[in-house]
Structure formats: C-alpha cells, structure tokens
C-alpha cells in the first residue's frame, strides 16, 4: 500500500466507463419468478391431484404427504434441468449469519452402470451434511457430527445461476442428529405456528370461525457501496467489513444532499441488475433510493409471508454482494462501515392477517376496531414484559455501533403509537372521552375508532418499535442480520400475550363480552403503559426517564445476550415449543462466541495495520522533518526552522500516542479481554486518525473517507 496504490485506485475509478445502458424499447415482467418452482411450474410438471396436494402444503394448509415425494423430486429435477441446472443443494441457514449450500450433481448410475440424471424423493426431503463445522453452542458433540437438513415445502425451490451453470436450491431446516435446532429457519416455522394457534384462539373469542393466520414481513435493506479499487486497499474492510480507521472528511452527510438524491448512472446500472435477478427469483423488490449517508442506499421489497420473506432477504443480501462484484463495487452490509456517519439497519415491518384481514389495521367497524385494540394491547404487553428478549435478538458486534448512537434507535425498547392512537388508549384507560371529540366515552366493540391518518404515525424515526398505520416497524435490526431472530421472539411473546387475553375472554358470559373486554384492555394497557413513548428516543432525558420507568437498557452485546439465559425467558420459549431444552442456552453460547471472535479479529487487524502500514510512514515523515530541521538550522533559515520544529514536535507527540495505543491494544488482545479490546481499539483509532491529518497525503497508505464515500 502506498500513495501510488491510492492514487492508482482513484485513477482507475475515474477511467471506468459504464457502458451506457440501453433501455429496452418496452418493459415487461415476463421473466418474473422464472427461476422459481412456483404454482405455474408445479401445475405444468405434476398431475393435477399431486399438484393440488403440494400446493396446499405450500400454502400451509396441510402437512406434506410423503408418498408424493418421488414425483415432486422428479418434477423439480426435470424443470431445473430445463433451466440449465446440473446440481442441487439443500439450502439452509446455519447460525453463521449467512446461508449454506453443498452441491450434489443429479448424476447417478443405473443398474448397468450408465450415467443418468436423477433426484430421488429421499434426496429432496432429507440431507445429512456434516454438521461439525457449523456453530452449535455445545448441542452437537463431534462424535455425533451429523446434522439433518429437512425440506421446507412452504418456501419454493429456486435456481441459482453462476457463470456457466445453475444449481437447484431446496430451502431446508437444519437440526442436529437428536433433533435440536441448529439454524434460523426452524424456530421461525415453530414461532409462526405458535402465533397462529394463539390468534385463532383469540379470534374464536370474537366468534370467528378458524381461518389461516399469516405473519407478514417487509424488510427494508440498507447497504453501502464502495469501489473495489479502494476496498482491496483497506485490510480492515476486507477482514471485518468495517473501517477501523479514517479521519472525518470535511464533507460527509451534513448537507443532507444524498438522501433521496438523484441516483448516479453507475449505481442505477447496478440496482437494475440486482432487481432483474431478484425478480427472476420471484423476490418482489419494489423501492430503491439513496440513503442518508454518502454512498449508502436502500432496497425494500413488497411484504410477504414471514418465512418466505426471510429466505428472500437472505438471498437479497447475497445477490447485492454478487452483483456489486460484477460492477467493480463491493456491497458493505455491515452495520457501521464508517465511523461518524449513519450506519445501516434493516427495518422489520411486521403484521398479522387472519383469513386475509390485517389484524393491525384498525378497520372500519366496531368489531374490527375491537380486534385491533385487543391485538394492540397484546403487543404492548408482550413488548413490555419481554423487552429484554427482543433486545437480545438484535445484539451483535456490528449493531453495537448503531443502537444508541443517535442515528438508530437506542438500546432501550419502547413503543411508538403516535399521538392519536395514544389518545385512544389513554381514553380507554381513563374511562373518559378522548379529547377533541364528542363528549361520550368510546366503548370497545360498540364504537368505531376515529380515523388514524397514516402519515401522522410515521414521523418519529427515533423509536425502535413504531406503529405505522397497519403494521409495526421494528427498527433496531442490523443491516447484516437475519430477520429470523427478532421475529421468532416477536411471534412468541405476542402469542403468549394473546393466550393471556384469550384465557380471560373465554371466561366471559356472552352478554358481558364487550364490557369484560373493555375492562380487560383497560387493565392490560394500564399495567404496561410504561413501554409507550412517543418522544425523541435519542435524548439523554429519555434515557433517564426510561431508567425511572424501569425499562432495560442493554447497551452492549454481552449484556444484551444475557436474557437468553434467563430461566423465565427459557420457560416462555419452551412453553411454545420454539426453543426447548438447551436450545436457547446454546444460542447464547454461539452468539457470545461469535461476538468475541469478531472483536478479537478487529483488534488483531487494527494492530497489524497500525504497525505495518501506519508506523512506517509516520517514522519516515519524522525522519524527513528531522533532516529538514537540521538543514534549516545549518543554513540559518530561522523562521523555517521554527515551523519545522513545531511540526516535528506535533508529529512526535502523536507518534508517542500511537505507540502507547499500540502497546495498550497488544496487551488487551493478549489477555483476550473484550471490553478492553473495544476500548483500546477506540484509542488507537483516535491516534491513527490524528496522524492521518498530519502525515503527507502523498504517503498515507489507506484510502481516505473523502475518497471512499464520494468517488464511485
């Protein structure tokens, strides 16, 4: 690394010419979903009765019938081959944070030993990958290293293309030999089922016949793009996904000129290709725009059923990375690639429908309003009682830089309802009429809610958990995180609160239902009112107020993971069959270990950069100044000598600080002490960033923020 490489990178970027994209004469979406084993394909490749059976399983209406597995497998293979696939893989989501795949060719030998292409029913339904190298948190000992992948028929198989071939991907759940969960999909499926049961139970109280519950998710994905030329000159980015050094540039995001700004042609070309790929996979990418920070962007899909939406988000992250690569860019999904400017999150828009009706939509009739208010009360209770568990699901080394840094919600969980809805529930609790309206009291199940304008509910971006008209938006999720963990918690705690309410409602005589419901909602909301906060979540005043209210403030990952070990939380998850036995404790182990490994890697690479790249240029510059000073003195250039001496003194001082910070971090890394490493890295960063502002620009080895954030 040197000035030459930095300037070379800039030169190369300046000379890059994206071919002017040729707009098609007409736009169409004929290719939408063409790489998905979807309903149309199923009807095309399977007999009518078999297609019906499979489709009803995919809709979650009935369990899979194993007898149709060979036919389904055959159909899948035929279709996949017709689209160029030679291999298949069970595609799963281990606790590494990403996805995993092990490809097998369709190749088999017939009895005579001749090659043939086949996919058996068994290969479709189960796989037995060696699980020993995936994190298990002690659930799996090496002598029983086998894991199982089990087909999830509710998420359709799809085809992933590469340069000269394609692979059939079969979404699967992943568990240990003894059936313990080792992945992020299984608990989602379990929690959706738990919530579905609880919703049906509640709706029965309202006299509704059993219907299908759908949990929906729309994850808004934020990301950064950086030119590959710069990326490879930053070992910190390559190894950790974030920059560990970098002085603040004069201009960063203070002019607020990037958000929703015109999208550069090069970025648009990238976005178009991403959308093409996503649409081909039936992933409904809808919205694209520039985000707040320079070189930061967002992609939002149309919401889908939760399990599918999570699979699709995992694929979206992968496709963002792959397509960026083809455009000479690197997609940074880290929560905080750059210090001092906004990081990236993933807003988790969540809702529940019953028989097609969104239960978080206040609706128009008194009956719909009553259901809505009951759901609302259940969610308020759930988040208040289990704020710690919800927070734990957002804990990660990367997200620690975001939560509470006044750019993303604080680490304190609270609910934003908006003024009007808060008025409604306060009126309910007070048993009085709402202000600004007729003077009579609103009776749940009899009166209609006043209309709640949607835009009035979405102005507060500082809240971690906001009601946005017909859904809740959980904003604490990190950009690189799977949405699985938060929704597993959310589904389960809401199921528990719905059961709590249903158990009381079931006891009410029919004639007293409305009055009883009113009293119950009043009680539940009053008891859990402390979790509602409509003010500015970034302020110190809120931190104090939250502490007064007794709300947990779990600032860092090690603290935030502790709720996973709380027997009360473990009992709750076990009651709903979401995490049983040692499953939650094992997750604690996995996530804690992941955190520690990441911090240690950061500490080590920070040291390497400081020693191998920064120190040499600083000492060289010092030597240069010393020589200059000598010459200045010898030649009697008095004023010049004074200036050089001043410079050398300043640089020497910073060098001493760098040296001390390196010593400090070396010690912390040797002792493997996490808080000490985090603190020492911060100190080292201050020293290095100060030097960046003193050392000859021509000698500075690392691409600077002003370059990475703006030159692309």
Residue 579 contact among ligand ADP, Mg ion, none, beta carbon within 5 to 8 Å by kind: none
Asked if 475 interacts with Mg ion (CB under 5 A), we say no
How far, in Å, CA of 250 to CA of 704, rounded?
11
Quick one: 149 or 358, whose CB is closer to ligand ADP?
A: 358
Q: Which two tokens stand for residue 398?
A: 């990367």
Quick one: 473 or 602, whose CB is closer to ligand ADP?
A: 473
How many residues in total does the chain contain?
712
Q: Which two tokens stand for residue 652?
A: 């020497």
Residue 621 contact among ligand ADP, Mg ion, none, beta carbon within 5 to 8 Å by kind: none
Dihedral pair phi/psi, residue 410, rounded to 5°: -70, 170
- Cβ-based neighbours of 147, under 8 Å, separated by 6 or more: 128, 129, 130, 131, 134, 140, 174, 175, 176, 177, 182
Residue 470 contact among ligand ADP, Mg ion, none, beta carbon within 5 to 8 Å by kind: ligand ADP
Stretch that binds Mg ion, among 73-81, 178-186, 346-354, 509-517 (CB under 5 A): 346-354
Asked if 160 interacts with Mg ion (CB under 5 A), we say no
DSSP assignment of 638-669 = HHHHHHHHHHHHHHHHHHHHHHHHHHHHHHHH
Quick one: 251 or 286, whose CB is closer to ligand ADP?
A: 286
Instruction: Please count the other Cβ atoms lying within 10 Å of the Cβ belonging to residue 419.
Output: 13
User: Pick from 597, 474, 484: which is nearest to 94 by CA?
Assistant: 484
Judged by CB under 5 A, the number of residues near Mg ion is 1
SS3 content of the chain, % helix, strand, coil (to 5): 50, 15, 35
Stretch that binds Mg ion, among 181-189, 344-352, 673-681, 690-698 (CB under 5 A): 344-352
CB of 441 to Mg ion, least distance (A): 34
Quick one: 312 or 346, whose CB is closer to Mg ion?
A: 346
Residue 276 contact among Mg ion, ligand ADP, none, beta carbon within 5 to 8 Å by kind: none
Sketch the per residue contact string, 299 through 338, with Mg ion: x for CB under 5 A, - otherwise: ----------------------------------------
Terminal Cα distance for the chain, rounded? 20
Q: Looking at residues 473 to 512 of the shown chain, list those that interact with ligand ADP (rule: CB under 6 A).
A: 473
Quick one: 307 or 556, whose CB is closer to ligand ADP?
A: 307
Q: Looking at residues 131 to 160 of the shown chain, list those that interact with ligand ADP (rule: CB under 6 A).
A: none
CB of 448 to ligand ADP, least distance (A): 21
Q: Which two tokens stand for residue 548?
A: 């007064």
Asked if 460 interacts with ligand ADP (CB under 6 A), we say no
How far, in Å, CA of 318 to CA of 325, rounded?
11
Quick one: 296 or 351, whose CB is closer to ligand ADP?
A: 351
Stretch that binds Mg ion, among 2-10, 190-198, 343-351, 669-677 (CB under 5 A): 343-351
Residue 217 contact among ligand ADP, Mg ion, none, beta carbon within 5 to 8 Å by kind: ligand ADP
Strand ranges (E), 394-529 = 415-416, 465-467, 472-474
Asked whether 705 and 247 are in contact (CB, 8 A), the reply is: yes
Sketch the per residue contact string, 203 through 242, with ligand ADP: x for CB under 6 A, - otherwise: -------------xxx-x----------------------
Q: Which two tokens stand for residue 445?
A: 């199940």
Stretch that binds ligand ADP, among 1-9, 177-185, 234-242, 299-307 (CB under 6 A): 299-307
CB of 518 to Mg ion, least distance (A): 33
Quick one: 240 or 462, whose CB is closer to Mg ion?
A: 462
CA-based radius of gyration for the chain: 29
Asked if 458 interacts with ligand ADP (CB under 6 A), we say yes
How far, in Å, CA of 609 to CA of 615, rounded?
9
Exposure on the CB side of residue 176, measured as CA atoms within 13 A: 22
Stretch that binds ligand ADP, among 189-197, 463-471, 548-556, 578-586 (CB under 6 A): 463-471
CB of 277 to ligand ADP, least distance (A): 18
- Cβ-based neighbours of 536, under 8 Å, separated by 6 or more: 460, 462, 542
DSSP conformational letter for 241: S
Quick one: 347 or 704, whose CB is closer to Mg ion?
A: 347
Q: Which two tokens stand for residue 545?
A: 């107020």
CB of 533 to ligand ADP, least distance (A): 19
Asked if 302 interacts with ligand ADP (CB under 6 A), we say yes
| Helices 484-505, 366-385: inter-axial angle, 10-degree rounding | 120
Residue 300 contact among Mg ion, ligand ADP, none, beta carbon within 5 to 8 Å by kind: ligand ADP
CA 396 to the chain's CA centroid: 11
Instruction: Please count the other Cβ atoms lying within 10 Å of the Cβ belonging to residue 671.
Output: 10
- Selected from 214, 347, 434, 704, the binder of Mg ion by CB under 5 A is 347
Sketch the per residue contact string, 344 through 373, with ligand ADP: x for CB under 6 A, - otherwise: -----xxx------x---------------
How far, in Å, CA of 454 to CA of 469, rounded?
5
Residue 216 contact among Mg ion, ligand ADP, none, beta carbon within 5 to 8 Å by kind: ligand ADP
Residue 302 contact among ligand ADP, Mg ion, none, beta carbon within 5 to 8 Å by kind: ligand ADP
Asked if 471 interacts with Mg ion (CB under 5 A), we say no
DSSP assignment of 81-150 = HHTTEEEEEEEB-BTTSS-B--EEESEEE-TTS-EEE---HHHHHEE--B-TTS--TTSS-GGG-BEEEE
Quick one: 459 or 646, whose CB is closer to ligand ADP?
A: 459
Asked if 184 interacts with Mg ion (CB under 5 A), we say no
Question: Measured at CB, which residue is nearest to ligand ADP?
Answer: 218
Asked if 190 interacts with Mg ion (CB under 5 A), we say no
DSSP conformational letter for 408: B
CB of 483 to Mg ion, least distance (A): 14
Instruction: Please count the other Cβ atoms lying within 10 Å of the Cβ belonging to residue 431.
Output: 11
How far, in Å, CA of 360 to CA of 415, rounded?
15
Stretch that binds ligand ADP, among 249-257, 468-476, 505-513, 627-635 (CB under 6 A): 468-476
The contact set with Mg ion (CB under 5 A) reads 347
Residues in contact with ligand ADP by the rule CB under 6 A: 216-218, 220, 300-303, 349-351, 358, 458, 468, 470-471, 473
């Amino acid at each position: 690394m040197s000035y030459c490489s930095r300037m070379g990178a800039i030169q190369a970027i300046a000379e890059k010419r994206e071919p002017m994209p040729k707009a098609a004469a007409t736009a169409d979406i004929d290719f939408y979903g063409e790489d998905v084993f979807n309903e149309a394909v199923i009807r095309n490749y399977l007999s009518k009765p078999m297609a019906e059976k499979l489709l009803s399983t995919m809709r979650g209406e009935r369990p899979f019938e194993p007898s149709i597995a060979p036919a389904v497998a055959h159909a899948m293979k035929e279709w996949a081959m017709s689209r160029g696939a030679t291999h298949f893989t069970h595609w799963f989501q281990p606790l590494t944070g990403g996805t995993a795949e092990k490809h097998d060719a369709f190749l088999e030998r017939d009895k005579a030993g001749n090659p043939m292409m086949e996919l058996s029913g068994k290969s479709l339904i189960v796989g037995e990958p060696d699980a020993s190298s995936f994190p298990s948190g002690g659930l799996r000992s090496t002598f029983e290293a086998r894991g199982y992948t089990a087909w999830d028929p509710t998420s359709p198989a799809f085809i992933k293309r590469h340069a000269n071939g394609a692979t059939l991907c079969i979404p699967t759940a992943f568990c240990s030999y003894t059936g313990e969960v080792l992945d992020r999909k299984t608990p989602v499926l379990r929690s959706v089922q738990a919530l579905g049961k609880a919703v049906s139970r509640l709706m029965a109280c309202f006299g509704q016949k059993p219907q299908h519950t759908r949990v929906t998710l729309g994850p808004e994905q934020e990301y950064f793009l950086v030119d590959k030329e710069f990326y490879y000159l930053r070992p910190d980015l390559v190894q950790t996904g974030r920059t560990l050094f970098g002085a603040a540039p004069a201009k960063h995001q203070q002019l607020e000129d990037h958000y929703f700004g015109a999208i550069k042609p090069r970025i648009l070309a990238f976005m178009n290709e991403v959308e093409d790929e996503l649409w081909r996979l039936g992933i409904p990418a809808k919205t694209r725009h520039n985000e707040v920070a320079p070189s930061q962007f967002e992609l939002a899909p149309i919401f889908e059923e939760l399990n599918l939406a999570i699979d699709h988000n995992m694929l979206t992250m992968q496709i963002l990375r792959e397509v960026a690569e083809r455009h000479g860019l690197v997609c940074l999904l880290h929560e905080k690639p750059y210090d001092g400017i906004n990081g990236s999150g993933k807003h988790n828009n969540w809702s529940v429908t019953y028989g097609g009706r969104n239960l978080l939509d206040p609706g128009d009739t008194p009956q719909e309003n009553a259901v809505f208010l009951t759901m609302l009360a259940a969610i308020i209770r759930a988040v208040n009682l289990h704020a710690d568990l919800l927070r734990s699901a957002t804990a990660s080394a990367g997200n620690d830089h975001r939560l509470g840094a006044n750019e993303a919600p604080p680490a304190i969980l609270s609910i934003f309802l908006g003024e009007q809805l808060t008025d409604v529930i306060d009126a309910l609790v007070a048993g009085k009429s709402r202000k600004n309206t007729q003077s009579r009291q609103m009776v749940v199940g009899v009166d209609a809610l006043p209309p709640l304008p949607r835009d009035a509910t979405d102005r507060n971006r500082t809240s971690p958990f906001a009601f946005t008209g017909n859904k809740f938006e959980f904003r604490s999720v990190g950009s690189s995180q799977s949405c699985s963990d938060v929704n597993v918690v959310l589904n389960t705690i809401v199921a528990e609160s719905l059961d709590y309410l249903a158990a009381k409602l079931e006891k009410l005589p029919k004639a007293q239902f409305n009055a009883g419901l009113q009293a119950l909602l009043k009680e539940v909301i009053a008891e859990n009112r402390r979790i509602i906060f409509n003010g500015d979540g970034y302020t110190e005043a809120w931190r104090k107020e939250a502490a007064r209210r007794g709300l947990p403030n779990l600032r860092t990952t090690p603290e935030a993971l502790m709720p996973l070990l709380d027997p009360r939380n473990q009992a709750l998850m076990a009651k709903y069959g979401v995490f049983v036995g040692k499953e939650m404790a094992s997750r604690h182990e996995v996530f804690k270990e992941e955190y520690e490994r990441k911090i240690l890697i950061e500490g080590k690479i920070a040291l390497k950069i400081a020693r191998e790249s920064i120190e040499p240029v600083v000492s060289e510059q010092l030597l240069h100044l010393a020589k200059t000073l000598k010459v200045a003195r010898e030649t009697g250039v008095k004023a010049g000598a004074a200036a050089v001496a001043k410079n050398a003194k300043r640089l020497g001082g910073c060098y001493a600080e760098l040296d001390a910070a390196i010593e400090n971090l070396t010690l912390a890394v040797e002792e493997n002490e996490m808080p000490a490493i985090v603190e020492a890295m911060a100190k080292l960063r201050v020293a290095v960033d100060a030097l960046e502002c003193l050392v000859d620009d021509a000698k500075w080895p690392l691409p600077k923020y002003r370059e990475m954030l703006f030159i692309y």
